[in-house]
Amino acid sequence: MKRENHTKWSNSIVLRFTMVLLLTISLSWYGVFAQDVIPEKAKRDYNSGPVYSSSAMEKLMRFIAVSSPMPSAFKDTTENVIIDPEGTLDVFWEKLSIMERPVRIVHIGDSHVRGHVFPYKMRKLLEEDFGDEAVIDYNISYKTTGIAHETGRSGIVYHIMGVNGATCESFNKTERIKEISSLNPDLIILSFGTNEAHGRNYRAAQHRIQMAGLIGELKKECKEAEFLITTPPGAYIKSGKRNRIINVRTPLVVRTEKDFAQENGIAVWDLYDVVGGEKFACRNWSAAGMYQRDKIHFTRDGYSLQGLLLHEAFIKAYNDYVATKIY
């Protein structure tokens, strides 16, 4: 009798254990097949605003405010931007955003650069934006050098190297190339075209060869440098002894420079079209009283405006780059 009771008790325990085991297995299988699989990484919520990391917020704070200096009286102006569809200046913008050392710009060109007003305006504005600790402050004039004196600290270093009457071909001299490379540029700005357009026998094909020669030599000697071409502002030429007419070769020079830049992956700032292009560039400068008597060179106000416009386009491009780093 006792053995029979013991057997019944044992069978009851086994039955209960079996039921618990079966219930556990069924629940686990139910969890596998009845529930959605939890993703390893949650999908992004596009309906909510972005949540920035501390480093992204730091970069966000590096946006630089800039406003348009374009005179309201200027007609037929276009958007003031640097044209760089391939992002060739991204390496330079990154150096600028980090600013771990001196970031050097060398601005070369003709008499518009040699006057030291247009590029000096740009230099001082960039020092305000990114810091002037990298250079010793001193006043620049036509009689002084445009080469900055470095301190070795982090910040913007903006060297100015212009030559009266220069073309891109005349700048392609061994001593010039060595002088530029000795400055260790991160960005080289090339401002030519006015003197090319004054040549009565101007040929676009020859101009392209000359640009390729200069930039090719600079690339060989300045391994870390990116490039930015700027088009000429527009000028008049003599017609007879006293009259002057708009130089009709300037649009061809501008088109050649822009085509060359596009085909060779080089950024370009098209000052000519920004201020009115073939129809209004020269008329806008003239109506504003910003030409000197020769209607080739500009007054201080005219060159200052060019510096302000270059700065606006430069900062807009930089801000665009910073934005891509956040998103």
Position 53 scores a pLDDT of 52
Tokens of 9: 């008790």
Low-confidence ranges of the chain (pLDDT < 70): 1-61, 327
Residue type, 237: I
- What is d(CA 182, CA 188) in angstroms, rounded to the nearest whole number? 13
CB-based burial, 30-54: b 16+ in 10 Å, e otherwise: eeeeeeeeeeeeeeeeeeeeeeeee
Q: Identify whether the C-beta of residue 112 lies closer than 8 Å to the C-beta of residue 125.
A: no
- What is d(CA 94, CA 13) in angstroms, rounded to the nearest whole number? 73
* Positive or negative torsion for Cα 271, 251, 297, 201: positive
pLDDT tens digit sequence for 181-226: 999 999 999 999 999 999 999 999 999 999 999 999 999 999 999 9
Tell me which residue of 275, 255, 278, 267 sits closest to 320, measured CA to CA.
Answer: 267
- What is d(CA 302, CA 102) in angstroms, rounded to the nearest whole number? 30
Global confidence as pTM: 0.82
Kind and range of the H or E run holding 251 = helix 250-263
- What is d(CA 147, CA 303) in angstroms, rounded to the nearest whole number? 19
Position 324 scores a pLDDT of 86
- What is d(CA 287, CA 269) in angstroms, rounded to the nearest whole number? 23
